[in-house]
Amino acid sequence: MRRLRDERGLTLIEVLLSSILSLLVMGASLAAFDGLQGNHKLTQQANEAQDSARQQTDRLARELRNLASPSQLTNDLSAQPQAVDVATSYDFVFRVVGDTRPAGSLNVGNVRRVRYCLNTSNPAKEVLWRQTQTWTTAAAPALPSTAACPGTGWNAGSDIQYVGNVVNRYNGADRAVFSYNSTDVLRVSKVRTSLFIDTDPTKRPAATRLSSGVFLRNQNRIPVASFTATVTADKRLILNGSGSEDPEGMPLKYEWYVDAPTPLPSCSATPVPASCLGEGVVFEKSGLSGGGQHVITLVVKDPAELGGTATQTVTYPN
């Protein structure tokens, strides 16, 4: 009996199974490739956002290093002499010197205000805005509104979306953009910026923090007044203000008052107010009218007329 020859090749079922397996492997490979491509795109977008934010924070740092000290740059010494107007966690207004002074401007120092504020209306995509205010008058105008970001009353066309993809307040966080070495704008001399950048906070990679610190080398800070008061046995009142100091090391002018009203009167007025005792780092007064307790006030002023005060209550014998 003749033996039948074996059938060579694959059956239809085997071909179908092989095709299905190939499609599954190819689909998995394509899915992995697509995922890698998507992650690469997110990483690239994050890097671009970080580079842009880094460039802008560097520009902010350069502006702060060239901070104006308006009391030395304007002919309006009665105006606010310090260079910082607003210093909060998400709003920072300071003064700088403009590049070009307009013809006929009475603003001799060409000082202008610059504002940086964070708009948090969309916490997943917050925006750091920049606004400016310029003027040509001798006296600085009133500070425009900072109730909103960006606010009204600033130069038309100066509103710039400075940095995007900020997430400092995303998901209930309260991470300050600006932090300072003092809560008093007269004493701010260091500023630190901290921006958390993330193009999509719902996906990886995590937000990147960009930080920068600047010392305000041109900020004219308020002098610190300090004095001792001694009443001698022969009823002499000796006042010594040598403990006072100016943060910039400038020479100080010392003015002494007794039981002065508020605001303090001008000792250069004619006639000289009764509350004005005199001037000098050390001052001596004999025969202070009336015994009992008296409030002594020392005002120290730097060359820009920025003043600091200190008070003490002394008991003077009858």
DSSP state of 172: G
3-state secondary structure 217-244: CCCCCCCECCCEEEECCCCEEEEECCCC
23 Cβ neighbours under 8 A, 6+ residues apart: none
Quote the pTM value.
0.67
Homologous superfamily, domain 228-316: Immunoglobulins (2.60.40.10)
- In degrees and rounded to multiples of 5, residue 43 shows phi and psi of -65, -40
pLDDT at 39: 60
Q: Are strands 282-286 and 111-119 parallel, antiparallel or unpaired?
A: unpaired
pLDDT at 76: 41
Residues spanned by CATH 2.60.40.10 within the chain? Answer: 228-316
Helix/strand/coil percentages in the chain, nearest 5: 20, 30, 50
Closest C-alpha among 210, 202, 209, 211 to residue 42:
202
290 Cβ neighbours under 8 A, 6+ residues apart: 316
Instruction: Give per-10-residue mean pLDDT for the chain (318 aa).
Output: 54 77 75 60 74 87 76 43 87 90 88 95 96 92 95 94 95 95 87 94 88 83 92 92 91 94 86 92 86 92 86 90
- Cα-Cα-Cα-Cα torsion 297, 298, 299, 303, nearest 10 degrees, comes to 170
Asked whether 160 and 63 are in contact (CB, 8 A), the reply is no
The Cα 90–Cα 168 span in angstroms is 10
Query: Exposed, middle or buried, 270 (CB in 10 Å: 0-12/13-18/19+)?
Result: exposed
Query: Exposed, middle or buried, 61 (CB in 10 Å: 0-12/13-18/19+)?
Result: middle
Distances (CA, A) of 15 to 23, 27, 29, 161, 192: 12, 18, 21, 60, 68
pLDDT at 10: 66
291 Cβ neighbours under 8 A, 6+ residues apart: 316, 317, 318
For 127, other C-beta atoms within 10 Å of its C-beta total 19
Strand partners, 278: 256
The Cα 127–Cα 140 span in angstroms is 28
Structure-token pair, residue 246: 């100016």
pLDDT at 191: 95
Start-to-end C-alpha separation, the chain: 150
The Cα 73–Cα 81 span in angstroms is 10
